[in-house]
Structure 1
């Protein structure tokens, strides 16, 4: 079971804060550092000092880290034109020496689009599908040849399809709860399917849908990695769990139901139950980015038991 660190910087984090978390992620032996792609805070937080751009952040971290994978959960297809996104991701992949992964979704948070003047179209899923075809098509085009695409939303003519990523294939992550279109899109384009903030039962049901879609598309069901993203709140005892839950404004019982919360033994047990239904990777959503002791505890007493 891989454990990856997942951050939500729109809730309030500078680049320096993210850098400290990414360095701790690497030093403590976690597999990857991922971040959300949002421009506006959510809920009752101040969001200071303000948003940071996902791919600018990852470009910086690409030069400041050496081992960990870097990526997004999830880049919003509404934020960037597909040709521009392909260039950005390929460049950051080169800057990292081939450690980048692209999680991409349709985009859903209308308020952030209004706040920063970003169009919020009704046909977001159709645009996402075209973006996936374009981005992966540009990367797959042989050097010296060109790529063209003529769709409803995007039109590319004789693109040189440059630059190329350092990796022969940048892993693509698709996720979500949709029962039909999401599994179909994952079956066609994804290397990994991620189920965000879902119970074991709901995850098992959705993994089954994706596996069926993958097989229907002519791929082996296990061609994809199946993963979960869950908020994490671990303490060496009940008092420490309660303290950490209070800092992030959550109730312990709710976190135990909807996330990974409790003592290391409790969290290891619940991760094991996700593993039983086919999950092979957990993105640990860290909400208090100043608490690096939390990462140390997870590394020493949770991750160590999963190896």
Structure 2
């Protein structure tokens, strides 16, 4: 079971704070550092000191780390043109020595689009499908050849399809709860399917849909990685769990029902239940980025048991 650290910087984190967490992620033996792609805080958070751009952040971290994988859950398809995104991700992959992964979604948070003047089209899913075709098509085009795409929303003519990523294949992540279109899209383009903040039953159902869609598309279902994103709140005792839950504005029982909360033993057991329904990777949503002791505890008493 891979454990990855997943951050939500729009809630309030500078680049320096993210760098500190990313370095701790690497030093403590976690598999990867991922971040959201948002420009506006959610809920009651003030978002200070202000948003950081996902791919600019990952470019910096690419030069400051050496082992961990780096990526997004999920890059918003509404934020960047697909040709530009392909260049950005390929460049960051080169800067990292081939450690980047691209999670790409349709984009959903309308308020941040209004706040920063970003168009919020109605046909987001159709655009996402074309974006996936373009980004992967550009990367797969052989050097010396050109890439042309004539879609409903995007058109590329004789693109040199450069630069290329350092990796022969940048892993593409697709995720969500959609019952029909999302599994079909994952079956066609994804190397990994991620379901965020889902129960065991919902996880099992959605993984089953993706496996069925993969078979229908002529792929082996086992060729995909299946993963969860879950909020983490781990403590050495009940009092520490309660303090950590209060720090992120959540209730312990709610976190135990919907995330990974409790003692290290409880969390190891719950992760095992997700493994039983097919998950081989968990993204730990860390909402208090000042609490590095939390990362240390998970590394020493959860990750160590899983390994």
Aligned residue in 1 for 2:256 = 256
Q: Cα RMSD (Å) of the superposition?
A: 0.2
Residue 227 of structure 1 aligns to a residue in which SS?
strand
Aligned residue in 1 for 2:92 = 92
Aligned residues: 307
1:152 aligns with 2:152: yes
How far apart, in 2, do the equivalents of 1:46 and 1:137 lie?
39
Question: Which string of whole-angstrom CA distances, capped at 9 and with x for unpartnered residues, describes residues 202-256 of structure 1?
Answer: 0000000000000110010101000000000000000000000000000000000
Aligned residue in 2 for 1:48 = 48
Aligned residue in 2 for 1:6 = 6
1:91, CA displacement in angstroms?
0.0
How far apart, in 1, do the equivalents of 2:143 and 2:261 lie?
49
The runs of at least 4 aligned residues of structure 1 exceeding 6 Å deviation read: none
Give the TM-score of the pair, scaled to structure 2. 1.00
Aligned residue in 2 for 1:205 = 205
How far apart, in 2, do the equivalents of 1:24 and 1:102 lie?
22
Aligned residue in 2 for 1:57 = 57
Name structure 2 gaps, 5 residues minimum.
none
Aligned residue in 2 for 1:131 = 131
How far apart, in 2, do the equivalents of 1:45 and 1:51 lie?
12
Aligned residue in 1 for 2:302 = 302
Aligned residue in 2 for 1:122 = 122
Question: Which string of whole-angstrom CA distances, capped at 9 and with x for unpartnered residues, describes residues 145-171 of structure 1?
Answer: 000000010000000000000000000
How far apart, in 1, do the equivalents of 2:152 and 2:250 lie?
44
Give the TM-score of the pair, scaled to structure 1. 1.00
How far apart, in 2, do the equivalents of 1:245 and 1:213 lie?
38
1:277, CA displacement in angstroms?
0.4
Aligned residue in 1 for 2:232 = 232
How far apart, in 2, do the equivalents of 1:135 and 1:246 lie?
41
